[in-house]
Amino acid sequence: MMKGQVALVTGASRGIGQAISLKLAAEGIFVVVTATSEVGAEATVAAITAQGGAAQAVKLDVTNSSEVEALFKKIVSEYGRLDILVNNAGITKDGLMMRMKDNDWDSVIDTNLKGSFICLREASKIMTKARYGRVVNISSVVGEMGNPGQANYCASKAGLFGLTKSAARELAKRNITVNAVAPGFIETDMTAVLPEKGREALLQNIPMERLGSVDDVAYAVCFLISPQAGYITGQVLSVNGGMYM
Ligand code: NAP
């Protein structure tokens, strides 16, 4: 049913974005795999091709609005459609608030929140004309809970909930759904930097007593972008092993 659709995934060179791209491609969806360098995105495209799917690697820095605008125009001229957007690109610049530099705040908000807004704005222009669209914003459990040392990151991820809900209301009558997925702690490069002690403390707060896998998140995204999820919008789907506040 989704065969022939076109999806764009941001931050898809590795981790969660790569897993989402692979799952979408396995559904027969053509995936525009983006990362801050084309070379980075190519690894994911190679994995998609190896499993029999189709994809294109493109450089996209989500903080660069002219680059984003140009890419969405190119997608329309090359493929004639964009059915799915997954706003996954994200960074951390952790530190206690008292010591956090303006630049650490700005770069995290610019990438995680403003970058998602710019991509969503451009996607909504295409989807509105088509009267069909599926958008998923990758937020985080800490956007709901807060986390010491991550004021910038938590603010950006909490901001995505507001963006998701507002966009869902604006776009509902055009048959475009906008939802968020809020992963708990997932095994990726982002969490690989956690010190062993911090990791042990973390596991004690996860009822399932394990970190999540990238596939746990990708399956949730796959459900939300499916035609079967067409009456679900403005929601936050938590994928966190039971780790609630
Ligand atoms: P990751 O392994 O660190 O990968 C981050 C991705 O974002 C990379 O593909 C990176 O591209 C891309 N990226 C960074 N800055 C970018 C920019 N300015 N423009 C475009 N792409 C950019 O992260 P992850 O763990 O897979 O996380 C993916 C998403 O899930 C993030 O939004 C993260 O906040 C969220 N999340 C993760 C966890 C977790 O436990 N891992 C939990 C909750 C939420 P390059 O390779 O080109 O740098």
Query: Is 72 among the domain residues?
Result: yes
CA of 125 to the centre of ligand 1 (A): 25
Query: Is 244 among the domain residues?
Result: no
pLDDT digits (tens, 9 = 90+) for 189-208: 989 988 888 889 889 999 99
Whether the Cβ atoms of residue 9 and residue 32 lie closer than 8 Å to each other: yes
Instruction: Look up the domain containing 233 and give its range.
Output: 6-238
Query: Is 12 among the domain residues?
Result: yes
pLDDT digits (tens, 9 = 90+) for 92-128: 999 999 999 999 999 999 999 999 999 999 999 999 9
Residues 179, 161: Cα–Cα separation, whole Å: 9
Coil, strand or helix at 35: strand
Based on the structure, what is the number of domains in the chain?
A: 1
Q: Which residues pair with 176 in a beta bridge?
A: 133
pLDDT at 46: 98
pLDDT at 193: 87
Residues 201, 210: Cα–Cα separation, whole Å: 12
pLDDT digits (tens, 9 = 90+) for 3-48: 999 999 999 999 999 999 999 999 999 999 999 999 999 999 999 9
110 by Cβ neighbours in 10 Å (0-12 / 13-18 / 19+) ranks as middle
Query: Is 1 among the domain residues?
Result: no
Query: Is 118 among the domain residues?
Result: yes
> How many other C-beta atoms lie within 10 A of the C-beta of residue 162?
10
91 close to ligand 1 (CB < 6 Angstrom): yes
Q: From the candidates 79, 132, 153, 244, which is the catalytic residue?
A: 153
Considering just the CA atoms, what is the radius of gyration of the chain in Å? 17
| Pick from 169, 223, 209, 222: nearest CA to 19 | 222
Overall size of the chain counted in residues: 245
pLDDT confidence band for 245 (50 / 70 / 90): low
> How many other C-beta atoms lie within 10 A of the C-beta of residue 53?
20
Residue 172 has pLDDT above 80, yes or no: yes
153 is catalytic: yes
Sign of torsion, CA 100 9 142 171?
Answer: positive
Query: Is 243 among the domain residues?
Result: no
Residue 152 has pLDDT above 80, yes or no: yes
Whether the Cβ atoms of residue 32 and residue 101 lie closer than 8 Å to each other: no
Encoding tokens for residue 5?
């659709």
11 close to ligand 1 (CB < 6 Angstrom): yes
Q: What is the pTM of this model?
A: 0.98
pLDDT digits (tens, 9 = 90+) for 41-85: 999 999 999 999 999 999 999 999 999 999 999 999 999 999 999
Q: Kindly report the CATH number assigned to the domain that includes residue 134.
A: 3.40.50.720
pLDDT at 71: 98
Query: Is 78 among the domain residues?
Result: yes
CA-closest residue to ligand 1 atom 31: 90
238 close to ligand 1 (CB < 6 Angstrom): no
CA of 90 to the centre of ligand 1 (A): 4
